Amino acid sequence: MILLAHILLPFTYILLALLIKKASIKSRLAVLFATFNLLWALALLPIVQIKDIIVVQVGGWAAPYGISLVADRFSVFMLIMTAIIFFLVTIYATQSVDKARRKSGHFFFTFGILMGVNGSFIAGDVFNLYVWYEVMLMSSFILMSLGGERAQMEGSIKYLILNLISALFFVSGVGLLYGNLGTLNMADLSAIISEKSDMLTHLNPALILMVVSFAIKGALVPFFFWLPASYHTPPPAVSALLAGLLTKVGIYSLIRFYTLFLYHDAPFWNQLILWMGVLSMVIGVFAASSQFDFRKILSFHIISQVGYVVIGLGFYTVSGIAAAMFFLAHNMLSKTNAFLVAGWVKRQKGTLNLKTLGEVYKESPIWGVLFFISAFSLAGLPPLSGFIGKYLIIKAGIEANYIVVALIALFVGLFTLFSMVKIWLEVFWKDVPKDRVVKIPQKKRKSQYMLTSSLIMAILIVVMGLWAQPIVTYCEQAAVDLLNPELYIDKVLNFSR
Amino acid sequence: MRNLILEKIAVLYLRAILIVSVWLLLRGHNEPGGGFIAGIIASTGFILYAIVYGSTAVEKLLRYNTRNWIGSGLLIILIAVVLPIIWGKPAMSSIWMTLPDSISAYVHIGTPLLFDIGVYVSVIGIILSIIITIMDVLKWNS
C-alpha cells in the first residue's frame, strides 16, 4: 500500500476532476493532492533508510508472476524530486494557465503525467514500465495540444509521432525479451541473465530496441529531434513540467536497465552509453548557442544536461552514479525554474524572442535574480547546486580514468555559461531595441503564486548547493545499492510480508 | 423523417442488449466476458438509440453527464482496489463473499466483480462521450 499510494493519489484526483465541474475547486484540489503526494514521498525516505528496498506485491501474488512495485533509494529519491517539482509547478499553474485550459482539464492531465512518472519509478516489471510510459505519453500529448493553437499542434504532432515510435521499439523489445527468457519481472530477468552469461549476445537485439526507446524518451543524441521541436510550443507551465519530469524518466530507466542487465555485457554497452552521453553534451550545447528563442535555448540545454547524467552512468563507479543522481536532481530543479521564469516573461511581454526583449531586470529585479540563480546553477557557478553536480561528475570521471571525457564536460560547461549569459544579457540587461518595439497592453497582472513557487525553487537550488553533503551521502548509498543488484534481486524474489 | 419501425427496434434492442451485457458482466470472472466487453456491448445499444433519436435524447436517457459516468466508474474501481486493505490483505487482492450454494452456482460476489462493474460503467461513459462529441460536431441531431 505504501507504494501503491503514489499511483492511487493521482488516480483519485483524476476521478474527482471528472465529477467536479468548477474550475476553482479543481485548482485547489490539485494543490491539495500535490501536497499529499509530496508528503507521502517524503514519508518513504525514513522507511527506505531502514528497509533498503521497499517491495509491494500487488494483490498478494508472489514476485515473478504478480505485479511487483519496487522502490530502492534511487527510486525514492526520484519520487521526492518529482513530487517537489510537481507541487511547485501546480502552484505556478493555478495562476499561469488560463481559465479555459484549467476548465477543460489542465490539472486532470498533469495528474495523468504524475501517475505515469510515479508509476515508472516504482515499476518492478518491464511491461508495467511500458504501460506507465504510455500513460505518461498520452497525457503529455493531450496536455501539449490542449488549447489548440497552431504552433502547439505542430509541436505536439512531432512529439506524438516520435514518441509513438519509441513506444513501438520498447514494446517490440519487451516481446523479444519475453520470447527469449519467459519472464518480465526485472529482478527475475536480472537473476536469469547473470546465471546464463553466454546468452547475452542473444539478448542484444531486444535490449538495443529498449535502450533506443529510452534514448528517444531521454532525448539523447542521435534521437533528440522531437524535444526542441515541441517543448517551446505549449503554455509555459506545461513545458516546465515536461522539461522537469519526462526526459528524466527515460534516463532513470536507462540507469535501472544498465545496473540490472546491461552491465553483464559491459565491453559492448559501456563505451556506447558513454559516447552517447558525450555527444549529447556537446551537440546539445552547440545547438543551443545558435538559437534565439528563450525556451528553445533551454530545450537544447536539456539534451546537453542529460548527457552529463549519462556520462556519470558510463563511468560506472559509485561516485559516478552518485554524481549522476545528484546532477539529475539539480537539473530537474534548475531547468524547471528557468522555464518558470520564461513563463513569467512570456506573460508580461507576450514573446520569448531574444531579439525583441530587453530591460526586464529594470522592470522586475526579483524575477531577474530568480533567473540568475537558476541559469547560473545550470552553468555551474559556485555556491549553487550545479557547481556541486558538475564538480562531482568531473571528479568521478578523473577518478575512473576517463580524463578526456572529464575535460569535455568541463569545456561544455563553458559553453553553457555562454548561452546563459546570452539569455541574461538579451532578456534582462540590454535596452529594448528601438526599431522592433512590440506594443503590448501593459496590464498589471497578478503573479504572486507564480513568484512564490519560483522563489521556493530558487531557494532549494541554493540550499542544494550549500548543504550538498547529506544529499551526496544519500546518493552514494543509493549508488552502492545500484551497483549490487543481488540485493535488489534477493529482496524482490524472496519477498515475505 | 421519423421511422416508426426503426424507433421501436432501437428501444427493444437497447433493452435486450442491456440484459445481455449484464449477463456477460456477471459470468466474466471464470468464463468469456467481463466488464470491458460488457461495457462495449451495452454501449452499442446506446449508440443505436443515439443514431435514431439524436444525441440529446441519449444524454437524457443516461440521466447523468458522461463525465460523471466515467468518474463514478473510476470511483468504483478505486473502492474495489482499496477495499481489501480493511480485511488486512494487500491492495487489489480478491475477497469473495460466502454465499449459499444455490446462488454461488451462478454468481460470485466479491471485489473482482466490483472492479468489473467499475470498468463496465466507465467504458460506457467513455464510448458514449466520444460518440456524443462526434455527433455534436457533425450536428447530427435528428
Q: Kindly determine whether residue B85 and residue A1, on different chains, have CB atoms separated by under 8 Å.
A: yes
Provide, as residue numbers in chain B, all residues whose Cβ is less than 8 Å from the Cβ of A17: 71
Q: What are B68-101's pLDDT values in tens digits?
A: 999 999 999 999 999 988 888 888 888 888 878 7
Whether chain B has a CB inside 8 Å of the CB on A148: the answer is no
Whether chain A has a CB inside 8 Å of the CB on B129: the answer is no
Q: Kindly determine whether residue B90 and residue A11, on different chains, have CB atoms separated by under 8 Å.
A: no
Which residue in chain B is spatially nearest to A108 when comparing CA positions?
B71
Q: Kindly determine whether residue B71 and residue A15, on different chains, have CB atoms separated by under 8 Å.
A: yes
Q: Kindly determine whether residue B90 and residue A60, on different chains, have CB atoms separated by under 8 Å.
A: yes
pLDDT of residue B28: 78
CB pairs under 8 A between A and B: 44
Cell 427496434 identifies what position?
B9
- In degrees, rounded to 5, the angle at the alpha carbon of residue B126 between the alpha carbons of residues B18 and B91 is 90
pLDDT of residue A99: 85
pLDDT of residue A113: 95
Give ipTM to 2 decimals.
0.90
| DSSP per-residue letters across A444-490 | ----HHHHHHHHHHHHHHHHHHHTHHHHHHHHHHHHHHHH-HHHHHH
Distance CA A475, CA A327 (A): 10
In chain B, where are the structural domains located? 4-137
Give the residue, A330 or B33, on which the prediction is more confident: A330
Q: What are A361-392's pLDDT values in tens digits?
A: 888 889 999 999 999 999 888 889 999 999 99
Helix axes A318-349, A236-260, angle to 10 degrees: 170
Which residue in chain A is spatially nearest to B95 when comparing CA positions?
A59
Return the closest-CA partner of residue A240 out of A377, A415, A383, A113.
A113
pLDDT of residue B126: 94
Burial class, A225, CB count within 10 angstroms (exposed 0-12 / middle 13-18 / buried 19+): middle
Closest-CA distance, A19 to chain B, in angstroms, reads 5
pLDDT at B35 over 60: yes
Whether chain B has a CB inside 8 Å of the CB on A14: the answer is yes
pLDDT beneath 50, residues of chain A: 497
Q: Kindly determine whether residue A16 and residue B71, on different chains, have CB atoms separated by under 8 Å.
A: yes
Which residue in chain B is spatially nearest to A14 when comparing CA positions?
B71
Distance CA A301, CA A282 (A): 10
Instruction: State the pLDDT confidence band at B106, using cuts at 50, 70 and 90.
Output: confident
Candidates B72, B74, B91; nearest CB to A1: B91
Q: Kindly determine whether residue B81 and residue A60, on different chains, have CB atoms separated by under 8 Å.
A: no
Q: Kindly determine whether residue B71 and residue A497, on different chains, have CB atoms separated by under 8 Å.
A: no
Q: What percent of chain B has pLDDT over 90?
A: 49
Report CA torsion sign: A80, A85, A86, A87: positive
Distance CA A296, CA A485 (A): 39
Q: Kindly determine whether residue B90 and residue A12, on different chains, have CB atoms separated by under 8 Å.
A: no
Closest-CA distance, A15 to chain B, in angstroms, reads 5
Whether chain A has a CB inside 8 Å of the CB on B130: the answer is no
In chain A, where are the structural domains located? 5-493
pLDDT of residue A172: 95
When scoring B65, B67, B79, B128 by the number of chain A Cβ atoms within 10 A, the one with the most, hence best to mutate, is B67
Report CA torsion sign: A437, A440, A446, A450: negative
